[in-house]
Chains A and B, each alone.
Chain A
Amino acid sequence: MGRDGDLRRQPREWLAASAAVRGRSHAVAGGPCQDAASVARAPGALSVCVCDGAGSAALSHHGAQFVAREVAEYLTSVAEPYVSGEIPAAAVVTRAREGVDQLVRNHGGSSRDYACALMGLVIAHDKVAAVHIGDGVIAEVVAGHPRVLSGPDNGEFANVTTFITSTDALERVRVVTKGLGPANTSFALMTDGAATALYEGRTRNVSQVVEQVASWLDDRTEEEVAAALATALREHLVPKTHDDCTLAVVRRHAPLLFACPSCKRWDLVRVGHGVRRFRVGCRACGEETCQAGGSRGRPPIARQWVLHLALVAGEGVREISATTRIPIRTIRRWLRLAVRDCRSGGATPRQEDHR
């Protein structure tokens, strides 16, 4: 059902993995992948930048790589003032353009040759800021449900968008800042190519796959996930588009989760009334799991699930009782004990209450 965890811990550490793979049209023409992703860290801050080089710009693969690295590092260096809104959103455009100017000086060409769309995300002290120029999607996952944090800014026609080098980039840059609660488990940044299979333009729905992929970071290292992500993109996303595909996922370290093991939605519901065999199913995908009860009643995980619903998902006791089929009285008692444990600083589960 989920991992055991200490409820009182406020995890601040975030993990990230990304992969950029070449699309079919570049593979046919023998050209490079024009996407790039970069992750940067500082104590208490993490940032990710994904760039999608313009197809018509001759050197946009260099532009995307350089700008992604520069902007990720920049966002980390100004993480706190940026998420607090003390630094204007456009500072990222200015920084990206300085990077492009440097490329022009060192490698020639004009700034247009390095054009790319840009998505950035920076997390610092339980706040997040997403900055976006052009197409692609930045998504957040709240309580197991992925949704758009910043959508694509396309022109009327499919092959028209804004780039960091566009004359109106300073006006078109978009920033979203918000506080992070325990229900914020993951973020995803995807280029237009990856969005073909992960974002439905008509409904603005983000695929549940982003949360499923982000959850890989719960068990495996960032390097392992990055390699697996590249394989997944190549096998499942590249066949669906002509464009390069890039996906970056950001995951709260060891999130306390009671999510469906299959689709990762927070939509679990108790199935049946058996106490010794505590069965839980997913309302969304129908997957069912079973937690064997202890000799004295419900398994310990039942109580952790109740605490998760109350403290992380923010549900009321009646709602929790309807979901878990645990009497309201028992739920209230568990919550009281949890509060008492918190105050006394003890974290040991109280065995005598598994009635």
Chain B
Amino acid sequence: MNEFGFRTQDLVENPSTRLAVCLCLDVSPSMEGDPIEELNKGTALFFEALQKNELTKHSVEIAVVTFAGTAVARQNFGPVLQATAPSLNIEGGGTSLGEGVELSLDLLEERKKAYKLAGIEYFQPWLIIMTDGEPTDNSHLRVAPRAADLVQHKKLSVFPIGVGDDSDLETLQMFSPKRPPLRLKGLRFEEFFEFLGKSAERVSASNPGDTVPLDTEGISKWAEMET
């Protein structure tokens, strides 16, 4: 071998550290019209931004769960590069927030198991909950403690977002003992998802021991702040 040479083919390739992001979205009839359209636009931009970014395209994985009367997994976790944003439609039958979150937590749990099995490292996963009204059943009373417990034990990051003036921030707070729920300014889904993408980039670039600050400047663009 030459002086100071080594075989670069002997270097190892480790899989990128993954950030699992579950979007848990309200598609009950109250979201009809502009809200669902803006939500679809926002998620499409979110997917696009993550796919374009050098950091997030190899690390972020997204699942989409929608809830109305029942909860449905519109998209399960997979590499963001191979994913397309699902087109969301209004469904009837109520607003079962608890079931939506329960399904999301199950998907996240499943994904973490798969990472462990494959020996892939991962960041603390994210759960984004967006709803515009009050739940129509009591499932949230059953599920909220499970989410809150995960947050308290630093196993999960929850981003609770209320859409519109009728959104029930008190109920959302039950899922998120650390981060207070924020109300979306008008229908600024795009700005919200831009913030989420930037924050995901920061996490993807983080090293052991880092505390990752969210893109707090970005928050004021979409969230109604108490004055």
A and B: interacting chains: yes
Chain A residues proximal to chain B, CB less than 8 Å: 23, 25, 52-57, 60, 115, 117, 134-135, 154, 156-161, 163, 192-193, 196-203, 205, 207-209, 212-213, 216, 219-220, 225, 228, 231-232, 236-237, 240, 242-244, 261-263, 285
**Considering residues B12, B121, B206, which has the most beta carbons from chain A within 10 angstroms of its beta carbon?**
B12
B contact residues, total (Cβ < 8 Å): 33
Known A-B contacts A55-B209, A55-B210, A242-B205; A201 and B119 likewise in contact (beta carbons under 8 Å): yes
Min C-beta distance of B207 to chain A, whole Å:
4
Q: Known contacts A55-B209, A115-B209; can you find 18 more A-B pairs with CB under 8 A?
A: A57-B209, A60-B209, A158-B17, A158-B121, A158-B122, A159-B210, A161-B209, A192-B207, A196-B14, A197-B11, A202-B14, A205-B12, A207-B10, A209-B11, A213-B6, A219-B3, A231-B4, A261-B1
Q: Tell me which of A197, A209, A213, A243 contacts B207 (CB under 8 A).
A: A243
Contact B14 A228 (CB under 8 A): no
**Neighbour of A212 across the interface among B6, B205, B208, CB < 8 A:** B6
| B207 and A159 within 8 A (CB) | yes
- B52–chain A nearest beta-carbon distance, Å: 18
Across the A-B interface, the 4 shortest Cβ-Cβ residue pairs: A202-B119, A54-B209, A55-B210, A212-B6
By a CB distance below 8 angstroms, the chain A residues around B14 are 196-197, 199-202
CB pair A157 B122 closer than 8 Å: yes
Q: Could you tell me if A25 and B7 are in contact, using CB atoms closer than 8 angstroms?
A: no
| B155 and A156 within 8 A (CB) | yes
How far is it, in angstroms, between the C-alpha of A337 and the C-alpha of B220 when the chains are bound? 84
Cβ B7 vs Cβ A161 within 8 A: no
Asked if residues B207 and A25 are in contact (CB atoms below 8 Å), the reply is yes
Interface residues of chain B: helix, strand, loop or mixed (majority): loop
Quick check: is B82 within 8 A (CB to CB) of the other chain? no
Q: Which B residues touch A242, using CB under 8 A?
A: 55, 205-207
Closest to A34 in B: B207
In angstroms, Cα B6 to Cα A216, docked, is: 10
CB–CB B12/A55 < 8 A: no
Contact across chains for B209 and A262 when beta carbons are under 8 A apart: no
Beta-carbon contacts under 8 Å, B1-40 to A: 1, 3-8, 10-15, 17
A326–B200 Cα gap in the complex (Å)?
62
Determine if A198 and B209 form an interchain contact, defined as CB atoms under 8 angstroms apart: no
Which of B7, B12, B17 contacts A262, CB < 8 Å?
A: B7
In the complex, A143 Cα to B27 Cα: how many Å? 63
* Least CB distance, B183 to chain A, in whole angstroms: 29
Cβ B205 vs Cβ A236 within 8 A: no
Residues of B with C-beta under 8 A to A220: 3-4
